[in-house]
Chains A and B, each alone.
Chain A
Amino acid sequence: GAGVSQTPSNKVTEKGKYVELRCDPISGHTALYWYRQSLGQGPEFLIYFQGTGAADDSGLPNDRFFAVRPEGSVSTLKIQRTERGDSAVYLCASSLRGGARETQYFGPGTRLLVL
């Protein structure tokens, strides 16, 4: 596609519910990243995929957060038992190979609000 797309653009849920956030990277990009951006802050790294595998998940805050990329393209970030503190914008980015100093292209984000 022309750029990274994310769905939904906005998600409102209740505390304790399960949510899934989807990312469609730029076609042909093997590297995919998830970030979380809280209000007034910069993006914070969550997880990095190279192809289908999670090469670095050191940024996931706890085991309620999980992400998959089964076919090496679309990725889904899954949050179980959501908490109010999970409210943030979740950004996805992709790059061609995840190589040194490659540009990461960001999607518009999913704004998650946990009530």
Chain B
Amino acid sequence: GENVEQHPSTLSVQEGDSAVIKCTYSDSASNYFPWYKQELGKGPQLIIDIRSNVGEKKDQRIAVTLNKTAKHFSLHITETQPEDSAVYFCAASIKLFGNEKLTFGTGTRLTIIP
């Protein structure tokens, strides 16, 4: 099955600086890579996703890059703000038997230092 590794497990950055979180996946058939943000006591919320036919996608301060050859993808947050503090999860998805099965990484706890 799919295996997703995520680094770092914790990350602290000064407000206004950039944050980068990296993930690798094992199954070359994976074709969809969403990123979720989880705040304390809440469920994960999708913040950005990328499909396997695209190398980069940007949405305001958030961008994701995908390298299919190396099987890794990254989340980039620029001009970080205190409200960016949360746990971030990457995931990889394969559509099998009609099921879009997500495999999640172990999460990165991001702390923005004011």
The interface of chain A, by Cβ under 8 A from chain B, is 4, 31, 40-45, 48, 50, 55-56, 91, 93, 95, 98-109
B89 touching A42, Cβ below 8 Å: yes
Given A42-B89, A43-B89, A100-B32, answer yes or no on A48-B99 (Cβ-Cβ < 8 Å): yes
Q: Looking at the complex, which one of B91, B95, B107 makes contact with A40 (CB distance below 8 Å)?
A: B107
**Nearest neighbor of B103 in chain A, beta-carbon distance:** A45
* Residues of B within 8 A of A (CB-CB), count: 30
Least distance between A75 CB and chain B CB atoms (Å): 15
A45 touching B102, Cβ below 8 Å: yes
A101 touching B43, Cβ below 8 Å: no
Main SS class of interface, B: strand
Main SS class of interface, A: loop
Rounded to whole angstroms, the CA-CA distance of A105 and B32 in the bound complex is: 16
Q: Looking at the complex, which one of A4, A101, A108 makes contact with B100 (CB distance below 8 Å)?
A: A101
Interface flag for B113 (CB, 8 Å)? no
Q: Mark B62-86, 1 if CB is under 8 A from A, else 0.
A: 0000000000000000000000000
Residues of B within 8 A of A42 (CB): 4, 6, 89, 91, 104-107
Residues of A within 8 A of B51 (CB): 101
Interface flag for B55 (CB, 8 Å)? no
Rounded to whole angstroms, the CA-CA distance of A106 and B95 in the bound complex is: 19
